[in-house]
Amino acid sequence: MTSNRSGWFVVALVAVAIGGCATGPESGGAGPGRPQAIETYVKGVYAYQAGKNDQAVDSLKQALETNPHLIMPRVFLGRIYKERGDYSSAREYYEALVAMDPYEVQNHYNLGLSDQMLQRLQDAIKSYNNALKLDPNHFGSNMNLGLVYLALGDVDKAIKYEDKAAMLKPESAEAQANLALTLDARGDYVLAERAYRKSIELAPKQVGTLTNYAGNLLAQQKPRDAADVIQQTLKLEDTPYLHKRLGDAYAMEQRYDEALGQYREARKRNPKYFSALNEEARVLLQQYQAGMELDEKKRDEALGLLRQSLEMNPQQPKVKSLLDQWEKRMFSK
């Protein structure tokens, strides 16, 4: 059974370096209302430190209304919105910070991160490159720029920056996992395996990394090793996807009954999991052919599963072609 490599890159959750932001002394100009604005800003910082983010936002915005030349209220507002996952709002403050203080690396980095999260990838590339012009060894900008290039399909550039990030912080499990992911995308499976192993040594319970590592092993035709990794991962997170992939590993070893059991377990957890239906059908057809095509129940069950899969998702040309081929064979007999 062939392994669909593209599916593995969707699983993991590729780690993005979120990184903090500088909190140095306020350097804004001495505009009108500055003393009152500073007092309101400090009040906002105390509220933020106390976990009262709504109150912090009100005070920080009030400080900017009193004195729009201040920098630090924007730093904290960007941070709060970033922590909330509101990257659109965060971006407004980081864009202003870049204009006000273009020589601060973290401002460019945070703007790039916001654009990356908003899928404004070309803008993210520009900001990360601006950060790297100021500091070529900025870890987060190297790592995230690699991820952006990977998302755009430029694998060679992705590897360049992920390799740099891994060199800058060899103890970072995220950097090693992202390097492995980019090497996988280029088909350098042996080198990718080494990076996966190092990442797992540093952080042994990262489900995404373990899942991608198993995919790497399947791509290298190492189904038994892949099955061991998936079984380990299932102890951390029991998902339909992992059962389906364990079925793939068993099918590659020609352990067909065990593969069918895993595909059915995946469908039990997610009845609309048409990919598991497809693989279950393929294994049944393999069993049918291995049995001299005598057990027509297996063939009929397989074709029924393919029809069911197409009802769930008609946009599967390969599945439709497989079903058509087998139906023609049946009618031609």
* Pair of tokens at residue 177: 């996992």
User: Residue 10 is which amino acid?
Assistant: V
The contacts of residue 136 (CB under 8 Å, 6+ apart) are: none
Token couple for 226? 């892949």
The CA distance from 330 to 163, in Å, is 53
Q: What is the pLDDT of residue 305?
A: 98
Q: Per residue in 201-240, pLDDT tens?
A: 999 999 999 999 999 999 999 999 999 999 999 999 999 9
Query: Domains in the chain and their CATH numbers?
Result: 242-333 (1.25.40.10)
What percentage of the chain reaches a pLDDT higher than 70? Answer: 89
**Could you read off the pLDDT of 137-178 as tens digits, one per residue?**
999 999 999 999 999 999 999 999 999 999 999 999 999 999
What whole-number distance in Å separates Cα of residue 179 and Cα of residue 183?
6
Q: What is the pTM of this model?
A: 0.85
pLDDT digits (tens, 9 = 90+) for 32-53: 456 899 999 999 999 999 999 9
Q: Token match 């129940």: residue?
A: 297
